[in-house]
Each structure stands twice: as C-alpha cells, then as structure tokens.
Amino acid sequence: MEHSDTLARLEATIAQRMQGDPSASYVAKLNARGIAKIAQKVGEEGTETVIAALAGDHAELVGEAADLIFHLMVLLAARQVPLADVLAELQRREGTSGIAEKAGRSN
C-alpha cells in the first residue's frame, strides 16, 4: 500500500465527515466552528511540530507532523481545495531551486 493512497483515503474520509454530525465527528465539529478555528488548529499543530523537531524526539515529531498534515487537509477541504491541486503545485516546483522558485513568485 502506497502512502499516497493513505492521503487520498484521508481526503475522502475528511470530505465525508465534514458533512457529519458535529457531536459524533471531530472533523464535523471543527468544520462547524468555521475556517478561522480550523486555521488556528493548523497554526497550533505547526507550532507543536516545530517544538517536537527542536526537542529531537523522533516519535513525537512523527505524531505532531501527522497532526499538522491532518489539520491542513481539513483546512483544504473546508476551502474546497483538492489535495491534487497542492500535489500538482509541488510537482510543478520539482527540480526548481527553492531560491529560484521563491524569487519567481508574484508579490
């Protein structure tokens, strides 16, 4: 089983649960609270990921990174941005220097 399949299944599960009962689904509850709350959770998980990275604990970093990716995917779903769009952007950037890519962005 490929890891990309895991992300596709997660995306489908999140899409299904977004419409669910907020009392029975964390995703539905988060979605009901709105984009600002979802974005706040992404920020919190990002911070926790940074702290875990600096602490040097492998298992903690893996767990926090998973939380970050999960909450980012909830945010993308709430804004109706398919993960495929993000993956296509990463593919577009593949082989391009990060410095060159950043310099080519419109401000």
- CATH, residue 73: 1.10.287.1080
**pLDDT at residue 1 in the model:** 54
Which tokens go with 4?
């990309």
Q: Is residue 91 part of a domain?
A: no
CB atoms within 10 A of CB 25: 18
Domains contained in the chain, number? 1
Q: Is residue 87 part of a domain?
A: no
Distance (Å, whole) CA 3 – CA 78: 23
Q: What is the largest CA-CA distance in the chain?
A: 47
The distance from CA 77 to its chain's CA centroid, rounded to whole angstroms, is: 9
- Please give the residue range of the domain that contains residue 58: 3-82
Averaged over successive runs of 10 residues, the pLDDT of the chain (107 residues) comes to 81 96 96 98 98 94 98 98 95 78 66
**pLDDT at residue 94 in the model:** 87
**pLDDT at residue 85 in the model:** 96
